[in-house]
């Protein structure tokens, strides 16, 4: 004997209501609803890229590490600007001075054939004058390790200042040619 519509309709609606509640809860609290804070701007995790930063240390062969989040949709110049700004704030240890001065501003950044990242700093940039050759080497090594570890397409970095090749940042490390991490790891 068939069931009357009055008998099965309430059960169907109740069951449908439970399914809708569960689907709504999953949507509201699911992983796709979370956001990542990027300098006060909320972006979905699918648009975020985590950059593992490495800071060479004067007293240890190990690197201190920190994480930076950038937007995947940001230009390479903007990602490099965020990276240098963060590397200019801390080296991974509380209170430890930075190797990169905050005065370093990225003028442009682009990838050339052969995996060479051109990283052009503003002309007015002045690295900390009076730093030791070893400190300058650690700064360059930290940046090269960070970039090559996070950007697989980058094999080496050519540093420019004001669009021009420069011999050095602070008088010690030769930056007149593209540098790989191996070039500064000896």
Give percent of the chain with pLDDT exceeding 90.
22
pLDDT digits (tens, 9 = 90+) for 17-47: 555 555 555 555 555 445 655 566 777 888 8
pLDDT for res 152: 94
pLDDT digits (tens, 9 = 90+) for 42-84: 778 888 889 998 887 777 777 888 888 888 889 999 999 888 8
pLDDT digits (tens, 9 = 90+) for 130-162: 667 787 788 888 889 999 999 999 999 999 988
Quote the pTM value.
Answer: 0.72
Q: Identify the bridge partners of residue 42 per DSSP, sorted by sequence position.
A: 37
């Amino acid at each position: 004997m068939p069931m009357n519509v009055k008998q099965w309709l309430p059960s169907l609606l109740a069951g449908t209501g439970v399914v809708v509640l569960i689907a709504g809860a999953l949507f509201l609290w699911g992983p796709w609803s979370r956001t990542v804070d990027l300098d006060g701007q909320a972006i979905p995790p699918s648009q975020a890229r985590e950059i593992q930063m490495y800071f060479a240390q004067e007293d240890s062969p190990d690197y201190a590490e920190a994480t930076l989040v950038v937007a995947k949709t940001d230009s390479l110049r903007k990602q490099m600007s965020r990276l240098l700004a963060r590397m200019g704030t801390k080296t991974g240890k509380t209170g430890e001075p930075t190797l990169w001065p905050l005065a370093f501003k990225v003028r442009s950044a682009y990838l050339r054939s052969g995996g060479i990242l051109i990283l052009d700093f503003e002309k007015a940039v002045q690295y900390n004058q009076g730093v030791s050759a070893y400190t300058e080497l650690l700064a360059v090594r930290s940046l090269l390790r960070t970039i090559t570890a996070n950007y697989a397409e980058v094999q080496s970095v050519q540093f420019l200042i004001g669009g021009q090749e420069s011999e050095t940042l602070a008088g010690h490390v030769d930056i007149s040619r593209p540098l790989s991490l191996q070039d500064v790891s000896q």
